[in-house]
Amino acid sequence: MGLSKKQIKVILLIFSTITVFLIPVFIKSQSYLQIFIVVLFFMYLTTAWNFVGGFAGVLPLGHAAFIAIGAYVSTILFMQYHISPWIGMFAGGIFSAIIGVIIGLPTFKLRGAYFALATMAFAGGIKVLIDNIDTIGPINVGGPRGILINYSGNSFVNFQWVSKVPYYYIILTMVIILVLFTVFMMKSKIGYYLTAGGEDPEAAASLGINVAKYKLIAMALSAFFTALAGSFYAQWILYISPQSVGNMNLSFEIAFIAIIGGRGTIIGPILGALLLKPLEEFTRTYIGSALPGAHLFILGLVLVLVMIYQPRGIQEIVLKLSRKFMKRISKKV
Amino acid sequence: MGSAILNGILMGSIYGLTAIGLTLIFGVLKVINFAQGAFLMLGLFSTYWFVELTGANPYLALIFVVPFTYFTGYYTQKFLIKPVFESEKDVREPIGVIIVTTGIWYMLDNLALMLFGAEYRTINVPSLSEAISFFGLYAPLSKIIGFFISITIAGALFWFLKYSKMGKAIRATSQDREAASLMGINQYKIYNVTFGIGIAICGIAGTVLLPFYYVYPTAGMHLDILDFVIVVLGGLGSIPGALVGGLIIGLIESVGSQFISYSWTIEIIYLLFLVILFVKPEGLFGVKGEF
Amino acid sequence: MPILKTEKLTKKFGGLVAVKNIDFEVNEKEIVGIIGANGAGKTTLFNCISGNLKTTSGKVIFDNKDITGHKPYEIAELGLARTFQVVRPFANKSVLYNVTVGAFLRTNQKSEAIEKAKEIINFLNLSSKTEVLAKNLTLPERKRLELARALATSPVLLMLDEVMAGLRPAEIQDMLKIIEKINKKGIAIVIIEHIMQVIMSVSNRIYCMNFGEKIASGTPQEITKDKNVIKAYLGDEYGIPEN
């Protein structure tokens, strides 16, 4: 008697969940663990980006701005008002969501290319703004030098630990919550309406869907979740600057990874980060000093090739392969 | 102040030139070429190496830069953009093409970084950086030459589109793809040529800029964003719009930096851009079907 | 009692008047046909009513409410559904998904929406295709899907833009049966068609348009005898002798 496909899926899921949770137990090297955190961090970012860039069917190219907003809000609240970063995180998220709606309100009415340009210009504007401002009244923003976050040893309230392990579990939890949220959302009315509006706005409107409203909801959620990652980043690295969290390259990288993985699917952005980030870290570590820029060149090349040969992303190939693999297993077992 | 205005106009015309390539490509293909800045960098680097290796006058580099960038553009469209373009023909919001051009941007910038390193390079031609009198105001000779080249190119392009056989075919395609192809115009050939011309204009802009500009792998990025602002300001697809937009941005930059720091003028330009997008997204000259 | 009414509806594109001073009425539970040659302004009239185009002047009144200038989604919410001449399913989604999107207009519960979608899929004889992706359907199936999706929004009035175009005679007969079945449920229907015979057999009343103007209206019998209609549209093809 063989196992059904569903049973195999469940077994694989349980197995991989356990593996993911046990990684810090087996990997003692902090620098390797750091790579795992980076991968999860990007999985989270690309999944949040996908709300707008995938499901809503437009191309946001300025998500670094939301990371910056999250990072700066929680950091300023923490450093100057001694408010726990956990609270600052949500304050940043809400602020970011509001900004997201303000950006989306006029631009969702325009052609796709205009939205891409507007988000890019907005993110560029935010970066230059932070670059130019040292203080706003009593608030120290730090200008181009950025802000160094006071380190006070292990403390849950302060969102700080000596070891990288807690950061690993926090970002892992964030990824799991976000992915579950996405799965849940896409199975609900919002998900149906968002997909319909993304595929054909006019047909969707004829079915009574206020397309712009649902795109705005997607934008607000995306901006909110992205900002949470910004606060996480600040506490994880303990240093933020316009260059590190507001950089245009960061905006593009998020978009690229999600697109290569397969925008508009739940698994795509996850796969993208899982495959590309290690590749990127690898090229940066081993050939980065001899050939700086090699990892970004590869990213650009993969992006172009994917768009030409596999526009629905590598998730399609991976799913095909895994289906074949499942068939084989279910026959053998 | 007078000199600031003059320099703004001169610089603005060159910005306008870089934006003309972008707006031409948009006008015909309805594609915003995000790699425009990277192609400008290509123009800067090819001029740089031509001068460095031959020791010739930088403007002589045009005999190499123009064909080189033209064919780079032609084949980029043919082999990289066209396949995506075709697969998206029936999509209402085609963004795959934007993504491909962004990918090309990344490839070019980082290829330059891998080949030439991150350092800032410049050619030193003392006679060109000398300030000369121009209507009683002073500006470097290189910028004045740049101004005249820009105006000439814009005029030549206008003439080409209006009167040459190829130009007419390009305009026909831009107005109605299907009708043009029914008339026996090979749509994709036109796209290749247009893309080639758009990129060659970028190459010329590179040659014009180099005598008073630095070249480095991300040199195009700043201009890329300025170009987007310029074309949206002038109206996507409008060539006169690109020139006027260029002049406005050039003036804001040079007059603005008389009063505030340069990075604040950039902030003003970003702000202006967002305001236009929100208030008047069709720009100053953006009329449907208009070139 | 009219459920839909237009008063002196006019639409200009630049200098071209696509729809000129149209007074048009649909009563509850009625089937009304609009005929006219290509370019007569039928689809433009539809687009003005459904909010896809801004009207230049005139009024659209639906269910005693002035809906002129309302957005398409607001009009759909009020119970006026439409299909498009070129069918536009969400291609990469299943038939069930497509119809469920429509059904979500009247409920927030997914189970309810799906149940209703399945009911409508059954009603339109598409149940064997429930899980098939829309892009893999044949043209007649796609037309029915378009209809199913619109129907799932529980409309009071359904506007069909050339649902018969491109279908074979047997398929047209199927479609006509479906339209009558829908009408029996109490839904008023407006059909644009240029296949004359089709519309004659199913409509209670017919409007005939030519160059943006209404040139005749009445029962099918009246229309076939109308001089203007014969001159402008039917021509020699119908060849009804003048009395």
pLDDT in tens, B198-230: 999 999 999 999 998 889 998 888 788 888 889
Instruction: Identify whether B248 is part of a domain.
Output: yes
pLDDT score at B288: 44
Instruction: Identify whether A220 is part of a domain.
Output: yes
Instruction: Identify whether A23 is part of a domain.
Output: no
- The letter for the amino acid at C41 is G
Closest CB from A59, A131, A296 relative to B95: A59
Nearest Cα neighbor of A42 from A220, A322, A256, A301 is A256
Given a cut of 80, whether residue A75 has pLDDT beyond it is yes
Structure tokens at B154: 């814009």
- For residue B164, give every residue at least 6 positions away whose Cβ sits within 8 Å of its Cβ, in sequence order, or none: none
Q: Which domain holds residue A290?
A: 5-17+31-332
Domain with residue A54: its CATH number is: 1.10.3470
Given a cut of 90, whether residue B275 has pLDDT beyond it is no
- For residue B138, give every residue at least 6 positions away whose Cβ sits within 8 Å of its Cβ, in sequence order, or none: B3, B6, B131, B132
Instruction: Identify whether B10 is part of a domain.
Output: yes
Contact present, B132 and B195 (Cβ < 8 Å): no
Nearest-by-CA chain C residue for A195: C90
Instruction: Identify whether A41 is part of a domain.
Output: yes
Instruction: Identify whether B24 is part of a domain.
Output: yes
pLDDT in tens, B85-117: 888 776 666 788 889 999 999 999 999 999 998
The total domain count for chain A is 1
Closest CB from C104, C149, C150 relative to A189: C104
Of the residues A184, A207, A214, A216, the best mutation for testing chain C's interface (the one with the most C CB atoms within 10 Å of its CB) is A207
Instruction: Identify whether A26 is part of a domain.
Output: no
Q: Is A130 exposed, middle or buried (0-12, 13-18, 19+ CB in 10 A)?
A: buried
Nearest-by-CA chain A residue for C88: A203
Q: Taking CB atoms and an 8 Å cutoff, what residues of chain A touch B103?
A: 256, 300-301, 303-304, 307
Structure tokens at B203: 């190459």
Tally A–B CB contacts below 8 A. Answer: 131
Nearest Cα neighbor of C36 from C226, C240, C236, C211 is C211
- Our CA dihedral for A312, A314, A318, A320, rounded to 10 degrees, sits at 30
Instruction: Identify whether B25 is part of a domain.
Output: yes
Chain B: give the shortest CA distance to residue A86, in Å.
32
Scanning A42-101 for CB atoms below 8 A from B yields: 57-59, 61
Q: Which domain holds residue B207?
A: 2-279
Which chains border C (3 or more CB–CB pairs < 8 Å)? A
Q: How far is CA A164 from CA A44, A171, A178, in A?
A: 18, 11, 21
Q: Taking CB atoms and an 8 Å cutoff, what residues of chain A touch C71?
A: 205, 210
Instruction: Identify whether B154 is part of a domain.
Output: yes
Q: 3-state SS of chain A: helix, strand, coil percent to 5?
A: 75, 5, 20
pLDDT in tens, B24-43: 998 888 888 999 999 999 99
Instruction: Identify whether B289 is part of a domain.
Output: no
Contact present, A53 and A263 (Cβ < 8 Å): yes
- Do the Cβ atoms of A291 and B114 come within 8 Å? yes
Instruction: Identify whether B261 is part of a domain.
Output: yes
Instruction: Identify whether A22 is part of a domain.
Output: no
Instruction: Identify whether B284 is part of a domain.
Output: no
- Do the Cβ atoms of A208 and C149 come within 8 Å? no
Report residue B286's pLDDT band, with 50, 70 and 90 as the boundaries: low
The 3-state DSSP class for residue C68 equals coil
Q: Taking CB atoms and an 8 Å cutoff, what residues of chain B touch A106?
A: 277-278
pLDDT score at B90: 66
pLDDT in tens, A106-144: 888 777 778 888 898 889 889 988 988 888 878 888 888
